[in-house]
Structure 1
Amino acid sequence: MPEFTAVAFAFEVRFFVYLVITLGAALLSVIALTHCAVQKPDAFSAVGTLSKGAWLGILAITLLLSLLLSVRGGFMFTLIALAAALVYLLDVRTGFKDLRGGGSSY
């Protein structure tokens, strides 16, 4: 019987790892979505990226799919939502900082 206990423990650990990643991706998506919503639409064209509506759509749809389908084993959508949020936060948000002159001097 110890092998069944080890298998059950492995599934519990996997569940909690998926849960932490899903919640982290949801948090980053909400942060990116909020940041995107408060920006002016003309700032997106100044940075040279997709429009504000496109980014709002991408971030909202990936967040929604991640939260709805992660319950049914759709962990791939969580990873897609995480990737979309990270691209926005690391690329577009950084472009806004550089545009305002708040970038690093290094």
Structure 2
Amino acid sequence: MISSAPLFYGHVKFYIDVLVVIGSMVVQAVAFIHCVTQRGDGFQAIGTLPKGAWLAILAVCMVLTLLGGATGIFGLIGIAAALIYLLDVRPGLRDLSDGKGFW
């Protein structure tokens, strides 16, 4: 019996890879844009890396994800860096600007 699955496997894998790269680039771009729009002294106030370091990390990760794909080692590092920024640094900056503290 002949199966038709191998005939379109390459196309499906290509489209899934493109969707994963687009999704990871969106997450990284949101993190980068948020970092650009924040004040530099806020990063020191919450005790994290300076703004310039975060900008460099996020920019290099975006370029490496674009060049190597989202499922490569550099793409996964880029997604991890963007998620660390969005889930750790961003709430700290938001709480600092609201004046409510971390709780």
Instruction: Report deviation, 1:8.
Output: 3.6
Corresponding residue of 1:67 = 66
1:77 positional shift: 2.3
- 2-side partners of 1:14 and 1:76: how far apart? 18
Tell me the equivalent position of 1:89. 86
User: Secondary structure of 2:49's partner?
Assistant: coil
Report the AA paired with residue 68 of structure 1. L
What does residue 43 of structure 1 align with? 42
**Aligned ranges 1:12-27 → 2 under 5 Å:** 12-27=11-26
Is 1:79–2:38 an aligned residue pair? no
CA RMSD of aligned residues (A): 2.2
Q: 2:31 corresponds to which residue?
A: 32
Q: How many residues align?
A: 101
Unaligned runs of 5+ in 2: none
TM-score (norm 1): 0.81
Shift of 1:18: 1.6
**What is the one-letter code of the residue matched to 2:66?**
L
TM-score (norm: length of structure 2) = 0.83
